[in-house]
Every structure is written in C-alpha cells, then in structure tokens.
C-alpha cells in the first residue's frame, strides 16, 4: 500500500548534440533504472533525443528522421515496462516544426505536447526553427513512428494514481503559464522539459519560481533541464532538475554534474487533493477558467498497470509545527509577535491595562506570561499591570513553585500567592467528597477553584484573565471544562505543545541571565497539571504524557489529521517513518487510537472555547478552521485504528 504517494523522477541524461542514437541509449539506461525503483513517470529535458543546442541543424531532414527512429527505439523498449517516459524531440507537421514532449508507455505514444511560448531574445532564438502550439488546430494529429498521434498542448494524461500535464521550459515563465491552466483543468502533477542555461543567480531564481508555481497551482512539479553534453559554444547547461510538492522542494539534482543523474521523490497526491478540496479560491478560479473554455483538455488514459511498489525515501518531519533551519529565529519571532499583537488588541479594545494570569511554573503559563510581557511592551505599559497568581495546591512541587515565583520577580510583574488547599477542602466538605478519593472530582475541583480565583481577581482589578491552555490540550480535551478551559483571551490557543516548549526555549536564549536560567529549567520540567500529591521525594508524580501519551506524537497526529485530512492508516504509516527507532508501530497505534477517541469525545469543549489567535496552519476554533458537531460518531476512525 502506497498511501497516496506516487514516485516520480526527473532525469538529466548525458547527450551528444545531433546524435539521437547515442542520446536514446543514454535515456534508455535511465528509464530502466527508474523502472527498477518503482518510478511511475520519468521526465527528460527539452529536445533530449537530439540535444537542445542543434541550431540550424533542426532544418536537416536527416536529424529529424534520426530523432523519429530514436523515439521508435524507446517505444519498443517500453513495451515490457510499466513506466511512462516523457522525452523531447522536434516534430514536423504541415510545413512547420514543433518542439515537443512525447509521452511514451507500453509501446505507444500517448500524446505529443508542443511548446506554446517560444523565446526569441538574448541567447535563445527558437522562433527561428519552431512554431508555437497556438498555430495548431485543436484536433491536430500527426503520423509518427507508425501511429497517428494527437499533437496538442491541450491534453492531460491520466494514470491509475494521478492526472498530469506537460509544459516546456519557457511556458513556465509566461504570465499565465500552461501549467496554471492544466492545474485548473485537473492536472495534479506538472512535468516540465526544459533546456534552461546557467547564469549567476539563476538557480536560486528558478527554485523560487518553481516553488511559487507549485504552491499557487496546488500541484506537484517535476522539472528537468539539459545538462552535460549540450553545446557550450555560447552558454553552459548545468543540468538543473527539481521535484516539488505544493511549494516544497522534495529533491534536487546536483548542478554541473558531468554524468547522468536521476532525481526521484514520492509526491503525495492525497495531500494535493485535500488542499484543493478545501481551497475555495482554487475551485473558484477553476470555475472562472471554465467560463472561458480555458480548462478544456482532452484527457488521455494511460495503460492500466499494477501498483508500483517502491522504497519510501521521502523525509517525514517528526515535528511539523516546530520551525527549523536558517529561518528559525524569524519564524519564532513571527509566532511570538502574532500572540502578543492579538493580546495587545484585546487589551486596547477593552481599555484595560491589567492582565491576570495563573502562573504554575509549567510551560503553558510561562509562555502566556512571556506573551503578556511582550504585549505590555508593545503598548508601553508597566509590567506591574500583569498580575501573576501562583496558587499552590495538593500536587504543587517545590520546583514548579519556585520557578513560578522566581520568574515573576525576574520579569518585574505583580505577584500574588493564594493557596487553594483550604478552599478545595471546604468544597469537598460541601459536596460530601472524600479527599482520599483522588478521582476526576478531586482533580477538577482544584482546576475550577483556580479559575474562579482568577476570574474574581480580574473583576476586582478591572482586568482580563489570560488563558494558558494550548492547541494540543484542546485537541485532546486535556483541560477542565469551565476550569482551565475558560479565560477571557487564550494566547496559546493556536500553539501546539511541542511548539510551546520550543518557543519558551527560544525566548530563554534571548533573556538576561536570571530569567534565562529559570526558563531553561521550566523547559526541562516534566509536563504535569500537578493535581495529585507529589511522591515521597517531593517530585512530580502525575506526568501528563504517561496518561495521554507523548505530545510529540499527538502533535504529529494533529497536524496530519487536521491540516490534510489523512485517514488513520496513512497517519500511522507516516508516524512510523518519522519516529523510526523511537516508537514502534504498536505504540504509535495505541496513542493514535487514544488521540481519535479523545478528539471526538472532547469536541464540546472546543465548541465554546474562548477567543485566541491562530498562529499557524492548524486551528481548532469553532469560529474559524474547525466546525464539528460535538456528537459526531468516531466509530469509522477507531475501526481503522483497530485494523492497523
């Protein structure tokens, strides 16, 4: 089972200018290699059977005949193969010559796609030799290699797994490229046969262009450009090749290689389809194009073939919410700014300069406090307007208590301490609950007492209660209804737990020595609601991840379930790839089942969650990204989990 992934390849063969016999042999070797690795479609560069830089030799009948014979050779080789090969060659038709891509499979040419936009500037003079696809009638057919083949830029190709389109080099640079229209017409992957020459800065420009096009068209994009062997009389062809998916580069060739290369990657078709289904702009654009007939394409079905089995080589990020690499600081700064600006607007709107926050010494309340400090700085308000309340209870440990107190002092906010033990004991007496029974009532009474204190203090001080709960807790329902579930503005509502930890760590590295030391210790503290008394050594006994599972797994599940709508089997597969060597399949299955069970059961808490800012691509706000009935059945999802 390939879980919606299709393996595609961009190849850069070694060529000899005007030597189709040599070139097709080079191409054949690459095709056979790709077939053996389970590639479904392989794309070669522009005019790869002849070489792109033939110049006026394109007017020679011998070269055109040799190119056709080379294509016939490739067709014969393909008879015993499943792989679809896309190669470039010049094709004469009714007195004109067209720069074409030939789509070949199982001994047949499925179609010829001519280039639409021909450059005629700087070092390129294609209009000297070739005609544009715009000069062809829609029904144009050409006799080639013993068969009648459709010659049109208005055709797509449908395999058992996906639909793809083809464009050639300069087409991509057009203001409205053929690939944009092909995507609106149903193409999920675009193949580009190119002969883009090298120049200073051009590689980065091309990478950005391809990234933007694949993101804008919500598609996979496979690009192969001419390489070693092309004429270097005036320019150099460095063999650029890319495979992209929705803006992300999955694989890239090493430029300036003197040997042939194959670049392979698995494109996630289900991910692309999911994005298109929910992206109303894409569907509206498709409807607009349809009004003017811009998305009318003939769809050519390929041969029915068995499912391609291949080694899964794609890297799966175990922490999809956590920024990495060179953009780390910029991303963290942006996330932190979104949170702070959201709170600043709420403070301004309510005309208050007081924020009340429960400070436990844990990650969530620490991040909320840091956001509040940033918001107060933006508004040029005194930090003393932030009232941090530490509320020790039955499970509070010295470590979290001291960190809470020390952090508040270090940040210069107003600190209050209110021990909830006496009030909760009185409440137990009022409802006739035995405090020795440490059940849900025992725990939730403490959470609701703390929320009551914060709300009443906010009323007393004319301020707002700032919520500390995060996105992961909302997904799992790991909050007490009308307890820590409730606030007047939840600054962490869009931040998953793995990102909370990362942001606090990031801020710690930017603080003065005293605050930094405290923050680093908070990052290293086990996650716990501290509602159960500590152990005999005074250490935290109630560890959240022992109860609901590792947050790194739940955040992984959350991302792929919410962002892409993947079914349990695919989420499980991806998790086994991402966490190989850390969690086995059974462990992942167990916690994935827990996630689905809790996610469905706890929707009622999300249906009435407080306001809070969205910071990334996943949000569970009932007013924004996630609208789900609280009584939806979870049976189908749990049944699939059971079968894993």
Active site residues: 46, 115, 169
3-state helix, strand, coil split of the chain in percent (to 5) is: 45, 20, 40
Neighbours of 122 (CB within 10 A): 9
Contacts of residue 355, defined as CB under 8 A and 6 or more positions apart, other chains included, come to: 343, 347, 372, 375, 376, 385, 386, 387, 463, 464, 466
CA distance 286 to 218: 12
Question: How many other β-carbons are positioned within 10 Å of the β-carbon of residue 514?
Answer: 13
Contacts of 65 (CB under 8 A, 6+ apart): none
DSSP 8-state code for residue 490: E
- Angstrom distances, CA of residue 206 to CA of 202, 397, 504: 6, 56, 37
Which SS3 state, helix, strand or coil, does residue 251 take? strand
Task: Compute φ and ψ for 403, nearest 5 degrees.
Answer: -65, -40
Token code pair at residue 304: 């029915």
Token couple for 294: 């811009």
Residue 271 and residue 159: Cα distance in Å, rounded?
Answer: 17
CA–CA–CA angle 153, 156, 158 (5° rounding): 160
Tokens of 108: 């047949």
Question: Could you give the CA distance from residue 271 to residue 619 in angstroms, rounded to a whole number?
Answer: 18
Residue 359: strand, helix, or coil: coil
Distance CA 183, CA 295 (A): 8
DSSP string, 375-435: HHHHTT--GGGEEEEE---TT--HHHHHHHHHHHHHHT-EEEE---HHHHHHHHHHHT--T
Q: Which residues contact 208 (CB under 8 A, 6 or more apart)?
A: none
Eight-class DSSP state of 253: P
Helix (H, G, I), strand (E, B) or coil at 369: helix
Burial of 349 (0-12, 13-18, 19+ CB in 10 A): exposed
Q: Please tell me the distance from the alpha carbon of residue 389 to that of residue 411, in angstroms, as a whole number.
A: 14
Residue 65's H or E segment, with its range, is helix 61-78
CA 475 to each of CA 184, 445, 542: distance values in angstroms, whole numbers, following the listed order: 34, 22, 20
Residue closest to 316 by CA, chosen among 527, 114, 578, 57: 578
Other beta carbons within 10 Å of 539: 12
End-to-end CA distance of the chain: 12
* Dihedral (CA of 189, 190, 196, 201) sign: negative
H-run or E-run covering 273: helix 269-278
Q: Which two tokens stand for residue 458?
A: 């906010």
């Amino acid at each position: 089972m390939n879980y919606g992934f299709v393996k595609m390849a961009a190849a850069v063969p070694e060529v000899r200018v005007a030597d189709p016999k040599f070139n097709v042999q080079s191409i054949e070797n690459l095709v056979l290699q790709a077939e053996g690795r389970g590639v479904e479609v392989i794309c070669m560069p522009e005019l790869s059977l002849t070489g792109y830089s033939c110049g006026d030799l394109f007017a020679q009948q011998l070269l055109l005949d040799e190119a056709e014979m080379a294509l016939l050779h490739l067709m014969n080789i393909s008879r015993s193969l499943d792989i679809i090969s896309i190669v470039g060659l010049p094709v004469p038709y009714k007195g004109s010559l067209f720069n074409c891509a030939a789509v070949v499979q199982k001994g047949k040419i499925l179609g010829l796609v001519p280039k639409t936009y021909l450059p005629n500037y700087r070092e390129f003079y294609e209009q000297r030799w070739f005609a544009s696809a715009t000069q062809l009638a829609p029904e144009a057919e050409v006799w080639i290699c013993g068969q009648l083949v459709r010659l049109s830029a208005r055709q797509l190709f449908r395999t058992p797994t996906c639909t793809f389109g083809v464009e050639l080099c300069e087409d991509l640079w057009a203001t409205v490229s053929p690939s944009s229209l092909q995507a609106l017409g149903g193409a999920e992957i675009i193949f580009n046969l190119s002969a883009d020459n090298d120049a200073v800065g051009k590689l980065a420009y091309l990478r950005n262009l391809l990234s933007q096009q694949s993101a804008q068209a919500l598609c996979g994009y496979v690009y192969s450009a001419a390489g070693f062997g092309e004429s270097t009389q005036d320019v150099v062809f460095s063999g650029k090749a890319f495979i992209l998916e929705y803006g992300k580069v999955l694989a890239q060739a090493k430029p300036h290689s003197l040997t042939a290369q194959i670049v392979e990657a698995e494109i996630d078709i289900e991910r692309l389809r999911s994005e298109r289904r929910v992206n109303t702009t894409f569907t509206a654009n498709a409807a607009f194009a349809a009004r003017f007939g811009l998305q009318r394409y003939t769809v050519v079905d390929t041969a029915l073939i068995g499912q391609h089995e291949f080694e899964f080589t794609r890297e799966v990020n175990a922490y999809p919410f956590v920024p990495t690499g060179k953009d780390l600081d910029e991303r963290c700064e942006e996330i932190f700014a979104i949170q702070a600006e959201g709170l600043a607007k709420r403070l301004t709107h309510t005309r208050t300069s007081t924020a009340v926050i429960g400070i436990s010494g844990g990650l969530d309340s620490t991040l909320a406090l840091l956001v509040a400090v940033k918001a107060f700085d933006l508004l040029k308000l005194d930090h003393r307007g932030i009232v941090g309340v530490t509320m020790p209870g039955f499970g509070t440990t010295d470590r979290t208590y001291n960190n809470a107190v020390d952090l508040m002092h270090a940040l210069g906010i107003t600190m209050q301490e209110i021990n909830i033990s006496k009030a909760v004991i009185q409440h137990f007496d009022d409802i006739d609950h035995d405090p020795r029974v440490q059940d849900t009532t025992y725990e939730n009474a403490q959470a609701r007492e703390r929320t009551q204190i914060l709300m009443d203090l906010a009323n007393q001080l004319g301020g707002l209660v700032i919520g500390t709960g995060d996105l992961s807790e909302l997904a799992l329902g790991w909050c007490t209804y009308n307890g820590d579930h409730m606030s007047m503005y939840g600054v962490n509502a869009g931040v998953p737990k793995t990102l909370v930890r990362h942001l606090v760590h990031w801020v710690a590295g930017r603080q003065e020595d005293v605050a930094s030391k405290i923050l680093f210790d908070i990052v290293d503290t086990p996650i716990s609601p501290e509602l159960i008394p500590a152990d005999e050594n005074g250490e935290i006994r109630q560890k959240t991840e022992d109860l609901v599972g590792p947050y790194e797994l739940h955040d992984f599940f959350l991302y792929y379930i919410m962002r892409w709508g993947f079914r349990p089997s695919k989420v499980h597969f991806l998790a086994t790839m991402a966490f190989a060597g850390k969690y086995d399949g059974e462990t992942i299955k167990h916690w994935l089942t827990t996630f689905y069970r809790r996610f469905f059961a706890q929707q009622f808490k999300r249906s009435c969650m407080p306001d809070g800012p969205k910071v990334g691509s996943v949000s569970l706000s009932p007013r924004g990204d996630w609208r789900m009935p609280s009584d939806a059945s979870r049976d189908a999802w749990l049944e699939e989990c059971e079968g894993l």
